[in-house]
Amino acid sequence: MNIESQKHINLSIDLQQAISSDIANHFSIIPKEITNDTNAFFIADEKILEEYAIKEELKLIFNKNIILEFVESSIVKRALSLYYRKNDDKPRLVSYGNDFLEDLIFEAKNINASDIHIEIYEEDVRVRLRIDGQLIEKNHIKKENYLELINQIKIKSNLDITEKRLPQDGRIEYDDFDIRVSILPTHHGEKVVMRILGRDASHLDINKLGLDNDDVQTYLEAVKKTNGIVLISGPTGSGKTTTLYATLKHLNDIKRNILTVEDPIEYTLKGINQVQLKENIGLTFTSALRSFLRQDPDIIMLGEIRDAQTAQMAIRASLTGHLVLSTIHTNSAVGTISRLVDMDIPSFLIAETINVSVAQRLVRTLCDSCKKEEIFNDKDLPRSFKADSPLKSHYTAKGCDDCYHTGYKGRRAIYEILPITHEVADAIKNNTLVQSDFTKNKKLSNKAFDLLSRGLTSLEEIYPILINS
């Protein structure tokens, strides 16, 4: 167990379990070494005046010799938020200090929150975290501390602290992750949203995304072609970008020239040339793609196809021998085809250039510590969805300390994959492709219902997906 770069305490599971969360938070201590006759702890330097009293109390608790090593309080606080979260499900008014912002950011990072929301109202300031796609109210701070906090965020993200009337966007960079900052003027003041962007792509693996064996094979056949378009659809926050990055990582080798244009760049991939979108100076998806074609690319990744012009450029790139990967906002794999038709892309070009259309969603999984089994009633299902087999029981979300009292812990991706076979291409050309042609057990709704039947998620969580079956 050590302190990395004097910023983080890395704690093994055995050391973590050596003391309780209550003791760790009460004394602001983190285990350093545990032996038969001695317990050594890191302790926040703010406790230095209490050293003798704390040692005596810990001796009584553990019946051992106690060694205390004082380190910066911010290091201990970050370790406490990661390894010894307080069992407190209610938002509370917290004291504000110089380390408040740093502690908030690192706590959010450590518990895998994707966004931090700071909102000002008439009486106070609310802080919320988005965990597993849902906003959780974390705490409140006094209104008199709000301006100092906002200015601190603006300074860190190189924004204008005097500008309070217009929206601003900035970025805060750390060693292993970035924060994208968005500031929006509201009625009572400026609202801040900070998106946490991890740079480490080592965990991305196309075989661990949630695709079943059949779907992995179908998808890989499509992305291993030397030209064509691979489109991934779904609403914001459905994991489309993660799927794209995992695909790029799979395709990345020394023989290929891969170019991407993104907004924002969420992961840094070695060996891939990544471009950050900058629309304010004219660097759009379309203009970047036009420049890419002069860069001798093999594979091009566009963060998103937003309009007809970008779609036409992607079609052109695929027709000239390039593999193009992108995302698009539609509700289903078949809906992607309809969306391109609505953009006035000729049906025969769609049929000739699209390799595969993928739709995906992220579904929250139930917390194993508190989920409760109940009798299932078929009448609770949407009328438009018909299950293949009856379900006798299911699990519902309850909430406990382990899951921040949400009832859910983690998410799983589900996929709907439409390979453009000769039959599907003919249906596209003749404008006869419909959702009912899709193999039933491959649809998003059936994949979602399968998670329900296996006790991994709740009916409440997948109901919107079942409605669109």
pLDDT in tens, 256-267: 999 999 888 888
Average of pLDDT values for 221-248? Answer: 93
Q: Count CA atoms within 13 Å of residue 292 on its CB side.
A: 33
Residue 4 has pLDDT above 60, yes or no: no
Average of pLDDT values for 451-461? Answer: 95
Q: What is the pLDDT of residues 165-197, one digit of tens each?
A: 999 999 999 887 889 999 999 999 999 999 998
Q: Which residues contact 6 (CB under 8 A, 6 or more apart)?
A: 72, 75
Tokens 């998806």 belong to residue: 285
Tokens 């078949």 belong to residue: 334
Angle at 110 between CA 327 and CA 414, to 5 degrees: 35
- Asked if 376 and 392 count as a contact pair (C-beta separation under 8 A), the reply is yes
Average of pLDDT values for 356-364? Answer: 95
- The pair of structure tokens assigned to 427 is 């249906």
Average of pLDDT values for 83-90? Answer: 62
Q: What is the pLDDT of residues 126-162, one digit of tens each?
A: 999 998 888 988 888 989 999 999 999 999 999 999 9
What's the alpha-carbon Rg for the chain, to the nearest Å?
A: 26
Q: Rounded to an integer, what distance in angstroms lies between the CA atom of residue 47 and that of residue 214? A: 58
- Local structure of residue 367 (DSSP, 8 states): P
Residue 319 has pLDDT above 90, yes or no: yes
- Local structure of residue 158 (DSSP, 8 states): T
Average of pLDDT values for 265-284? Answer: 89
Q: Which residues contact 62 (CB under 8 A, 6 or more apart)?
A: 39
99 falls in which pLDDT band (50, 70, 90)?
A: confident
- Asked if 292 and 194 count as a contact pair (C-beta separation under 8 A), the reply is no
7 falls in which pLDDT band (50, 70, 90)?
A: low
CA neighbor of 28 nearest in space, from 99, 89, 93, 90: 99
Distance from the Cα of residue 7 to its chain's centroid = 24
> Residue type for 319, please?
L
The structure's pTM equals 0.75
